[in-house]
Structure 1
């Protein structure tokens, strides 16, 4: 335990240390094999009186000691990365060291050279070999607990065998409460927690907290990892919990790890929406804002039917209409151009396996700039979702974006774009969603959007728009959903007041 405390007090390990540490699972199988072979050969010699070459046994024991020592060294390096339960790690470490020590003692007393010097040493051979094997089995069990959880071997053990082993009855697996009315569903308990349980908790639980993160209780989710919070309430795309899911699967930081069941698009959308709404743990769907993007996903969860913008049930009218750009036939993207886009730091993700449409995101490329944006038109047919929020782009990038003729969703929040740049978006006839949160856009810029007839949702928090500008845009696009900025009621009242003033003026004249 003292060693663990010292480890935690040191600086973060270097890449070289962690690189070699990841060889521990490979090397650790060598002493297991060597020691088991030595034990089986000795058992065969004792029970069947078969002769085994003394040199053969000695050679096997030598390599078991060498490989056990290497496994200890690499295991130590791996432990520096953290994310393991301290008590289990401490026991595993000391038992592993014990395996190496007794493997060396066993080799030494079996060695012919030591036998000549200390004839009585041979009596220690079988006891030390037995101790090494017992420690090997125990250390291996704890290693499995660290990697897969303490119940990895027993979680599917049938009832009769559990009784014989003295284990308590199997606990029922977490089953999400059925959602009969999506509006009344508890967001965390019935939607979020089941996703975390099936995709994340295997590596982030009481027995294995990878990265110091546990996701099995609300308090621990709020606490985050050793590197800080994983949730930024109100900002899903800025939350580490979402960022790691959006990384390429080949990336070492992608979660869940490659080979594990992955989150699908709807699950990531639900988690992002939950965080965008402040990551509440005790609210129902009806208490949160529901936008066009998440509405069909929520409706698919249960029998409650679709929900409106306020989270209230509406009459079922069949499946939500899908944007034509998501189903139209477009050619596959040029692999070379895709590589050029990826080199800028942007993520390039397919919208579906059946189509060639793409989502391009700067979630991990905050330094993305106007100079790099020149690569985007190379995917003008394929890009339908573009997320450039919190990047360094300005109006010059909008000139490149204007060439993406199939663009449906565009995120420009927290960027340097201005009213002048919005003029370039007039030709994006398929644009349905536009996020301008935290920009310097004003009424003049909104006027430029009036010609985009397919526009359905605009986000305008913390912009320079006024009630007058919103009313004019609403008049041009009556079905447009405006989120943030000024309330819908204020816009309606302003428009009504304007109409009344106009009527009064006409009567006066």
Structure 2
């Protein structure tokens, strides 16, 4: 027997091995304990699956030609392709024992098995199937295409194959309609998370393609702890170092942007609501500020626009009618001048009742005016009736306006009967009742009747002491050259702002009072608080500003930073560019397996008196202050160690922030400097990653 014949015989026998192994895995695969080395073999499935597809399709084409020479070549290619199909199916069945399940997996698995079966069937019975060979070959080709399609869905998401042909309408969401989870958080999950946590592929037993799965969490338990981002697995995992195997998304996937990281953190911190609207957030909240830039303030309206000539006729010296924004069919109406107000002119608005969405009647005399006509304005969203003399009778009929979302009735004698009418306005989301003269019981009763309405009763100081908002710190650059100007401000001009520049907490007695812009000539940690009589002092605002230092003659790192966090190497430490508050921004040198050790060579005339180290701190991402710091000064080849205290270790997970280590250098001639920062070898017991290695992140070394 020739070598070629022996090879063919060996490959034919091997087909039965693949078929038998496939049968074993189909029957008992779920109960088999797959060893780690065999899991590695299973993960070769995506790598080798292309071989059988190409070879089997090629064989089908050759068999279709029907000529003897092509048929012989096609049969050999079919044999090789069938063996590759066997390897691929077996590897796929092993891989399927991991975190995969669902309808797409079932279709992919069984179509793959059928493709193997058809390949073997065609090969061994090619003569008997001669009359139907083209039909069976075509079925095999179709199976291969469908198998690949469902495999692509598993790996890349639904409709991956046809995605370029499917036109997706970009939906413009108005800020008024935007929801925090649906329009801010869920799109992040869909683009960055669901490919690994969906039906068919549930990594870590976590599904993120429906709410129940997100709320349930995975095998490690709930991964969202509402109001506690530092203890939430979601926030911990997305901030882990990129090469950590628990980092989400995996390092070979598209990573989250800075804004996306902030959105997820602020969402969890604000309570991780799945139903909250963006406008229900306080405008001071960072999450609202992020969201307000993403959504249109121009709501889309589907009704037809009113005739422009008709709108022009409605405008006069006491009434203004105009679109809510250019090009919109929606109209807003405002009245001016109470002395010239004509109640009969209100009936003119019926001509545009389908287009009016806002009416401003503030300070118009409406005591004798029947407002029931407004119930015909079924697109009306906002009514302002402040200081108009209306009573409870005027409010009847407003409950019929289902589109009404905002109502302002401040400064009116509504009384208890008026409260009963307001309780019927369950469709209203914002209600303004300043100077209403209501008792505390009436206010509480109204709040209970309208639990989904934001009710603003105005400021009512009844001995309750409220905290002030923190002051604002304004500056041009985090890292400055000669001098920096810092301005502190507060929306309440009468407050007293006190600040410190040495990192200590400001108080209302000893700390300097801010009166004019602060001129900085050196690195400073600015902390500021607002104080006022009758108020609780504010939370502090703080920031670190760095002054550029001396440029050394040269420098050399003893140990290379981690490959993922190497910025521009040692040059980054003296380039005068401050890194962003994000360890993945590419501005930082990160060290975990070896210390950050650098030798700095100075010019003859340089005599630095201090050295400052700019750090990034984020305990949730395992980024800590160094476990120890060593500084050595060298002169004429002799080295002397500088005695410095050990850095103070943190005691809890805090938000991402800049850190500063500053040390004085001894007087005298110095021509070399050696700095060594040792990363924490084992995270403390209070940390979720207790026992793991910590990181040190540095972006600047400043010499003065």
User: Matches of residues 494-509 of structure 1 in structure 2 within 5 Å?
Assistant: none
Q: Check if 1:375 corresponds to 2:368.
A: no
Pairs within 5 Å for 1:397-476: 400=629, 412-414=650-652
Is 1:154 paired with 2:162? yes
Does 2:40 match 1:19?
yes
Q: 1:270 aligns with which of 263, 269, 294?
A: 263
Matching residue within 99, 103, 121 for 1:87 = 103
Given the alignment, which residue of 195, 206, 211 partners 2:188? 195
1:386 to 617, 622, 631: 617
Deviations 1:110-142 (A, max 9, x none): 4xxxx6xxxx46556545434432322222222
Distance 1:391 1:192 in 2: 24
Task: Tell me which of 84, 87, 101 is aligned to 1:67.
Answer: 84
Q: What does the per-residue CA deviation read over 1:371-428, in whole Å, with 9 as the maximum and x for residues that have no partner? A: x9993676986643223469899xx96764999xxxxxx982339xxxxxxxxx9959
Given that 1:256 and 1:262 are in contact with CA atoms closer than 8 Å, whether structure 2 keeps it comes out as yes
Pick which of 320-329 and 217-226 moved more. Answer: 320-329
| Structure 2 counterparts to residues 186-225 of structure 1, below 5 A | 186-206=179-199, 209-225=202-218
CA contact (8 A) 1:148 1:208 kept: no
Say which SS state the counterpart of residue 229 (structure 1) adopts. coil
User: Cα offset for 1:24?
Assistant: 0.9
Which residue number corresponds to residue 135 of structure 1?
143
- Does residue 57 (structure 1) correspond to residue 78 (structure 2)? The answer is no
Q: Distance in 2 between matches of 1:121 and 1:390?
A: 63
- 1:188-213, CA deviations, whole angstroms, 9 ceiling, x for partnerless residues? 23432233233333444456544443
1:336 counterpart SS class: coil
Separation of aligned partners in 2, 1:401 and 1:281: 49
Q: How far is the alpha carbon of 1:68 from its aligned partner?
A: 0.5
Query: CA, structure 1 residues 298+57, in 2 after alignment: closer, same or farther (shift >3 Å)?
Result: closer
Deviation at 1:67, TM superposition (A): 0.4
Judged with a 3 Å threshold, the aligned counterparts in structure 2 of structure 1 residues 272 and 329 are, in CA distance, closer, same or farther, namely farther
1:336 aligned onto 2:559:
yes
Deviation at 1:74, TM superposition (A): 0.9
Gaps spanning 5+ residues in structure 2: where?
1-23, 298-465, 480-543, 584-591, 600-610, 633-647, 654-659, 665-684, 687-704
Q: Deviations over 1:36-71 (max 9, x none)?
A: 11121223x24xxx5525542221011111000001
Secondary structure of the equivalent of 2:615? Answer: strand
Q: Is the 8 A contact 2:240 2:620 kept in 1?
A: no
Note if contact 1:348-1:358 (Cα within 8 Å) is conserved in structure 2: no
Structure (1 or 2) with the greater helix fraction = 1
1:276-315 matches, within 5 Å, as 276-283=269-276
> 1:239/1:10 Cα in 2 relative to 1: closer, same or farther (>3 Å)?
farther
SS at match of 1:385: strand
From the superposition, tell whether residues 188 and 126 of structure 1 become closer, same or farther in structure 2 (CA, over 3 Å).
closer
Task: Tell me, yes or no, if the aligned pair for 2:614 and 2:661 is still in contact at 8 Å.
Answer: no
Structure 1 alignment gaps of length 5 or more: 159-169, 305-309, 362-371, 404-409, 416-424, 430-437, 440-509
Distance of 1:4 and 1:401 partners within structure 2: 61
SS at match of 2:120: helix
**Change over 3 Å in CA distance of 1:385–1:291 after alignment to 2:** farther
Map Cα deviations across residues 334-387 of structure 1 (whole Å, 9 max, x no partner). Answer: 482524xx9xxxx95869x994648798xxxxxxxxxx9993676986643223
- What's the C-alpha RMSD, in Å, of the aligned pairs? 5.2
Find the residue that maps to 2:158 and give its secondary structure.
coil
2:240/2:246 contact within 8 Å kept: yes
Q: Tell me the SS of whatever aligns to 1:153.
A: coil
Q: CA 1:327/1:228 → structure 2, altered by over 3 Å: closer, same or farther?
A: same
SS in 1 for 2:229: coil
Q: Which residue of 1 aligns with 2:235?
A: 242
Aligned length: 363
What SS is found at the alignment partner of 2:90? helix
**2: CA distance between counterparts of 1:402 and 1:283?**
52
Is 1:145 aligned to residue 365 of structure 2? Answer: no
Q: 2:230, 2:113 → 1: CA distance?
A: 44
State the Cα deviation string for residues 63-118 of structure 1 (Å, max 9, x = none). Answer: 1110000010111122122134x2221222122111112211222234xxxx6xxx
Q: Considering only CA atoms, is the larger Rg found in Structure 1 or Structure 2?
A: 2
Measured after TM superposition, the shift of residue 249 of structure 1 is 4.4
- For 1:224 and 1:138, the matched residues in 2 are separated by 32
What SS class does the counterpart of residue 559 from structure 2 fall into?
helix
Alignment of structure 1 residues 352-371 onto 2, 5 Å: 355=577, 357=579
Structure 1 residues 42 and 150: CA distance shift in structure 2, 3 A: same
CA contact (8 A) 2:55 2:81 kept: yes
- TM-score, length of structure 1 as denominator length: 0.55
Tell me what 1:42 maps to: 63
Distance 1:336 1:132 in 2: 57
Matches of 2:184 and 2:87 in 1, distance apart?
45
Alpha-carbon contact 2:283-2:289 (below 8 Å) kept: no
Question: Per residue, is there more strand in 1 or in 2?
Answer: 2
Aligned equivalents of 1:350, 1:100: Cα separation in 2: 49
What secondary structure does 2:125 align onto? helix
Given that 1:83 and 1:208 are in contact with CA atoms closer than 8 Å, whether structure 2 keeps it comes out as yes
Aligned to 1:29: 50
